């Protein structure tokens, strides 16, 4: 592998903008290909995926903005692939989902592949997609687990394609370990197709402009984003700001997440020292997920439209003691950390910075993704695994009500159309609407949550991972809290029974699951 010599020059201000469009266009087009050809409802309907371009050193050059929780986690995947592979060949594709080696939780399978210019490795492209099932103890692979080994098949960074040839043995092994193998096969093919698009588009740039210029502007764009991010942080009041919030465990305990956010000159450090240790249960997170949450918080507080790449992350430092619940160590269970704990990390980081930037930070949003997985067998005996997440109230901002019925912070997936869902799965939606008066009071009101009621047409295993069922989303500046969420089972006689935020049960046909998602917190004292 020949290194390409880099001459660091001052960027042309015009080309800088031109290349921003070029790289962003490539990542977006990869995403569109994945969406259009994917099989999991998570991918094709809910857009639970990310696509990115990295330089040869593994620094992110561009990412199609879909899912913030992938912000810091995608670079970790690329780094893990770089560590695992000694020699890259054109046509190689590494697959991984191991949270302790570049993944975030097992359902998110990441592919990383190299892009060559001649015989020099110059870029990587990567896709991460949420697969509807990767095996493990419950359908949908978001179980109430206590160890990673219960959560599904663990894929360390391994070559799924070597020199363009599919490693059939590996694929066969993976597919035998999941509940819906044909769907997995289709999703992996869709990811591979997205990579082909990314590789082709980058190669076209090399032909048109020369690989030197393309590489230089990949570097210039990172420097540009770093400059913009540092300039913004430098305008924030220096100091150390503390905050804490908590999670809800099935046994009633509420482990704390603590942060001290230190703004010093043009950089910021989030230190999670004092956070409770790893918990028994699936709520731990690996460090890249914690980093994603912190990067997201900083990105939200910078109003300029800067391209998201490694430069944005350079002035943001994240520390957490190994073994605490936001820096999990093997074999801690992490299935829900990615979707639930990441939201609480975001909340606590915002709460700390609300002291520094009271006119910018919004009240807490619903603070959960309300993960629902339903699995069982259809009428013809075919196995299915269904996963979706539900929106809720967004927190009110200074001078702006919160949106109702949306995903907040670390997720932004779409819902699955009721008509698409009922045609594919043996359950029916009885109600889908906004949850009246669930937003927090205040000068600006928090957004309303959602009510969604499922009726099972056949027996099925239902697993829920949801938060903010006990501790309400907080208001700010005197605004009231949003309503806590509520989960209920309604039996055939119409009798409603409360169920906790996290449960996994085998339920009879005719049972209804009614979920009321939390409202957002309010902002400011209500004037009337």
Partner 1 sequence: MADLVGIDVGGTFTDFVHIRDEEVVVHKVLTSPTDQSLAIGRGLAALSAGPEAVIIHGTTTATNALLERRGAKTALLTTQGFADVLAIGRQNRPHLYRLAQQRPRPLVPRARRFAVNERVAANGAVLTPLDPEALKEIAAALEACGAESLAVIFLFSFLDDTHERTAGRVLQSLLPGLRISLSTDILPEYREYERTVTTVVNAYVQPVVAQYLERLMTVVGRRSVWVMQSNGGTIDVPKAAEQPARLVLSGPAGGVVGAFKVAQQALDTDAPQVLTFDMGGTSTDVALCPGIIPRTAESMIGDLPLRLPSTRIHTVGAGGGSIARVDAGGALRVGPESAGASPGPVCYGKGGAEVTVTDANLVLGRLEMARFEIGNKHSAQAAHEALARLGALLGLGPEQAALGVIRVANATMERALRRVSVEQGYDPRRYTLIPFGGAGPLHACDLAEALGVQTIIVPRHPGVLSALGLLLADVTYTTARALLRPMAKLIGDHNEAAALVSELSVQVAAALGGSPRISASLDLRYLGQSYELEVPLCLPVGAPHLEASAAAFHAAHQQRYGYSMLERPVECVTVRVQGSLPGAKPTFADAPWATSDASIAQVGHRPVWLHSGEPTMVPCYDRTRLAAGHQFRGPALLYQYGSTVLVAADWRVGIDRQHNAILHHEAHTNASD
| Contacts of partner 1 in 40-69 (CB under 8 A) | 41, 44-45, 47, 65-66, 68
- Tell me whether residue 48 or residue 441 sits nearer to partner 1 (CB atom): 48
Q: Give the H/E segment covering residue 114.
A: strand 108-117
Query: CB under 8 A: which stretch of 20-28, 73-81, 263-271, 272-280 binds partner 1?
Result: 20-28
* 358 binds partner 1 per the rule CB under 8 A: no
Q: Is 183 in the site for partner 1 (CB under 8 A)?
A: yes
Select 360 or 383, whichever has its Cβ closest to partner 1.
Answer: 360
Count of chain residues binding partner 1 (CB under 8 A): 81
Q: Compute the least distance from the CB of residue 495 to partner 1, in Å.
A: 19
Determine the interface stretch with partner 1 among 115-123, 249-257, 427-435, 501-509 (rule: CB under 8 A): 427-435
Which residue stretch of 1-9, 16-24, 258-266, 278-286 sits at the interface with partner 1 (rule: CB under 8 A)? 16-24
By C-beta, is 299 or 344 nearer to partner 1? 299
Mark residues 450-479: x for contact with partner 1 by CB under 8 A, - for none.
x--x--------------------------
For 308-329, b/e burial (b = at least 16 CB within 10 A) is: bbbbbbbbbebebeeebbbbbe
Angstrom distance (rounded) from CA 326 to CA 502: 19
The yes or no reply on residue 394 touching partner 1 (CB under 8 A) is yes
Interface residues for partner 1 in 264-293 (CB under 8 A)? none
Q: Provide the minimum distance between the beta carbon of 328 and partner 1 in the complex, in angstroms, as a whole number.
A: 26
Contact string 104-143 vs partner 1 (x = CB under 8 A)? ----------------------------------------
* Cα(167)–Cα(161) distance, integer angstroms: 6
Residue 300 is a binding residue for partner 1 (CB under 8 A): yes
Contact pick of 1, 6, 13, 265 for partner 1 (by CB under 8 A): 13
The phi, psi pair for 354, rounded to 5°, reads -60, -25
**Which residue lies nearer to partner 1 by CB, 275 or 389?**
389
Report the DSSP beta bridge partners of residue 127: 51, 111
Q: Which of the 8 DSSP states describes residue 5?
A: P
State the nearest-atom distance from the C-beta of 66 to partner 1, in Å. 8
8 A C-beta contact, residue 254 and residue 467 = no
From 61, 211, 247, 406, residue interacting with partner 1 (rule: CB under 8 A): 406
Shortest distance, position 119 Cβ to partner 1, whole Å: 24
Residues 247 and 277: their CA atoms lie apart, in Å, by 12
From CA 64, how far away is CA 230, in angstroms rounded? 22
Under the criterion CB under 8 A, does residue 522 sit at the interface with partner 1? no
Binding residue for partner 1, selected from 70, 130, 131, 299, defined by CB under 8 A: 299
CB within 8 A of 48, min separation 6: which ones?
42, 66, 67, 129, 130, 411, 413
Q: How far apart are CA 112 and CA 124, in angstroms?
A: 7
CB count within 10 Å of CB 347 equals 28
Mapping DSSP onto H, E and C, the string for 60-78 reads EEEECCCCHHHCCHHHHHH
Q: Are 520 and 402 in contact (CB under 8 A)?
A: yes
Contact mark string toward partner 1, 193..232, x via CB under 8 A: x--xx---x--x-------------------xx-xx--x-
Our finding on whether 355 is near partner 1 (CB under 8 A) is no
Sign of the CA dihedral running 126, 128, 131, 133: positive
Q: Is 492 in the site for partner 1 (CB under 8 A)?
A: no
Helix pair 181-209, 13-37: axis angle to 10 deg: 160
């Amino acid at each position: 592998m020949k290194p390409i010599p880099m001459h660091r020059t001052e960027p042309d201000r015009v080309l800088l903008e031109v290349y921003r469009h070029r790289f962003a266009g490539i990542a977006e087009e990869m995403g569109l290909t994945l969406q259009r050809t994917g099989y999991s409802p998570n991918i094709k309907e809910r857009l639970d995926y990310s696509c990115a371009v990295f330089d040869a050193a593994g620094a992110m050059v561009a990412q199609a903005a879909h899912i913030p929780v992938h912000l810091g986690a995608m670079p970790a995947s690329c780094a893990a692939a770089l560590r695992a592979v000694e020699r890259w060949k054109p046509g190689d594709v590494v697959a991984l989902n191991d949270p302790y080696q570049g993944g975030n939780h097992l359902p998110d399978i990441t592919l990383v592949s190299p892009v060559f210019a001649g015989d020099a490795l110059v870029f990587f492209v990567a896709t991460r997609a949420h697969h509807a099932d990767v095996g493990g103890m419950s359908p949908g692979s978001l179980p109430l687990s206590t160890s990673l080994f219960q959560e599904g098949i663990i894929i360390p960074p391994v070559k799924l394609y070597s020199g363009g040839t599919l490693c059939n043995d590996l694929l066969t092994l993976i597919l035998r370990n999941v509940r819906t193998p044909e769907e997995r096969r289709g999703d992996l093919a869709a990811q591979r197709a997205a990579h082909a698009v990314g590789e082709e588009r980058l190669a076209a740039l090399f032909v048109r402009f020369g690989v030197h210029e393309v590489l230089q502007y990949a570097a210039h764009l990172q420097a540009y984003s770093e400059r913009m991010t540092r300039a913004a942080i430098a305008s924030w009041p220096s100091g150390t700001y503390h905050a804490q919030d908590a999670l809800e465990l099935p046994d009633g305990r509420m482990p704390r997440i603590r942060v001290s956010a230190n703004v010093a000159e043009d950089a910021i450090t989030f230190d999670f020292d004092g956070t409770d240790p790893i918990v028994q249960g699936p709520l731990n997170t690996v460090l890249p997920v914690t980093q994603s949450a912190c990067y997201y918080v900083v990105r939200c507080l910078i109003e300029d439209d800067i391209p998201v790449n490694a430069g944005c992350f350079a002035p943001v430092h994240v520390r957490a003691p190994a073994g605490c619940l936001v820096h999990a160590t093997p074999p801690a269970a992490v299935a829900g950390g990615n979707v639930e704990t990441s939201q609480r990390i975001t909340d606590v980081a915002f709460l700390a910075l609300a002291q520094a930037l009271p006119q910018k930070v919004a009240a807490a949003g619903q603070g959960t993704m309300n993960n629902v997985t339903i699995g069982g067998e259809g009428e013809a005996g075919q196995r299915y695994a269904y996963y979706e997440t539900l929106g809720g109230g967004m927190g009110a901002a200074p001078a702006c009500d919160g949106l109702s019925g949306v995903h907040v912070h670390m997720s932004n997936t779409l819902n699955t159309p009721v008509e698409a869902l009922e045609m594919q799965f043996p359950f029916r939606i009885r109600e889908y609407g906004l949850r009246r008066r669930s937003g927090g009071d205040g000068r600006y009101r928090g957004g309303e949550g959602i009510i969604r009621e499922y009726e099972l047409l056949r027996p099925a295993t239902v697993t829920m991972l949801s938060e903010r069922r006990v501790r309400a989303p907080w208001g700010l500046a005197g605004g009231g809290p949003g309503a806590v969420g509520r989960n209920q089972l309604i039996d055939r006689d119409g009798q409603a029974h409360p169920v906790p935020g996290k449960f996994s049960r085998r339920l009879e046909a005719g049972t209804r699951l009614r979920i009321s998602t939390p409202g957002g917190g309010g902002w400011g004292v209500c004037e009337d």
